[in-house]
Amino acid sequence: MGYILASILASTLILVLFRWMQHSGANTRHAILIGYLASAVAGVAIFDVDWSLSSQGWFWPAALEGVGFYVVFRMMALTTQISGITVASIATKMSVVIPTLVGIVVLNESASLLKIGGLVFGVLSVFIAAGSRIRVAKWFLPLLVFFCTGLIDTSFKLFQIWGLTDAQFPGFVITIFGFAFIAGALHHLLQPDRLVNRISVVCGVVLGLANLGTVYFILKALALPGWESSIVFPFNNFGIVLASTLTAIFLFGERPTRTTRFSLACAVVSIALLYAAS
């Protein structure tokens, strides 16, 4: 349970940082590039890493996933520019359906009424929060983000099934962020605004540490005995919805509407049901 809460807090910190960067003079793309580097470097400094990484069966798939991390982020950025932040957020949060269904259908995890009820209330909370703003004409990119994010989340559990051990977690995480940085750096070199300012570096370091925590803690949560992936992913995603909404209210002074309060209530019910089903 502690690992899931830590992942939720780290993810919420990322959202808070992105919100703050809008008015700080930081370049978001630059900060994310620095963030991937900070994640990889911090992982090397903090964890005991087995440096025979390339000989591991998961190394090249993890490297490909790292490239996918950056590509999906770019698709999310483009989705935000074309369809708005709300649509991009819905596409990301709703992707939890994919690893949940894979856990139940493919991995033969349980499908209790509590779990299904928790998933339904969680999805409902996201749609209520979005309201009428989800009516957009161009859904190709949002759907692409939906499927790609869901596949990345699903792969975390599949890697463990295919033999990723606790001792290999640090190397696995560092590989992902290292190759995400390489992909981001290659893209950065093709852009005209390549000069990174100081505030982008500072934001990037904080972002990278939070990002490292998010991935590491969710992997540790997936390894917990008795916690199925079809519980962990919905609990984590809907917990982020709840935590980020409360943060926006108390930290940024956003006034909750009746719709927001109803959405929060659905998220709370969802988390309670998922916890009871664990």
Work out the average pLDDT over 115-127: 79
13-33 tens-digit pLDDT: 887 887 787 778 888 889 889
> 100 or 181: whose pLDDT is higher?
181
What's the mean pLDDT in 115-139?
A: 68
The span from the CA of 189 to the CA of 272, in Å, is 47
> Looking at residue 206, what is its pLDDT?
94
Average pLDDT over residues 92-103: 78
Band (135; pLDDT cuts 50, 70, 90)? low
pLDDT of residue 106: 82
- Which comes out higher in pLDDT, residue 17 or 132? 17
pLDDT score at 175: 93
Give the mean pLDDT of the chain: 82
DSSP letter string, 110-178: ---HHHHHHHHHHHHHHHHHHGGGG--S--HHHHHHHHHHHHHHHHHHHHHHTT--GGGHHHHHHHHHH
Q: Which pLDDT does position 199 carry in this prediction?
A: 94
pLDDT value for 134: 52
pLDDT of residue 145 exceeding 90, the answer is no
pLDDT at 224 over 90: no
- Residue 235 to residue 4: CA distance in whole angstroms: 8
pLDDT at 43: 92
Largest CA-CA distance found in the chain, in angstroms, rounded: 55
Q: Which residue has the tokens 């559990």?
A: 157
The answer to whether residue 11 scores a pLDDT higher than 60 is yes
Write out pLDDT tens, residues 238-271: 788 778 778 877 877 777 677 767 877 887 887 7
User: Does 68 or 165 have the greater pLDDT score?
Assistant: 68
4-8, 92-96, 146-150, 234-238: the lowest-pLDDT one? 92-96
pLDDT confidence tier of residue 162, bands split at 50, 70 and 90: confident
For residue 26, the model assigns a pLDDT of 86
> For 77-93, what is each residue's pLDDT tens digit?
676 656 555 556 666 76
pLDDT digits (tens, 9 = 90+) for 28-77: 889 889 999 999 999 999 888 877 777 788 889 999 999 998 888 778 76
So what's the pLDDT on residue 78? Answer: 73
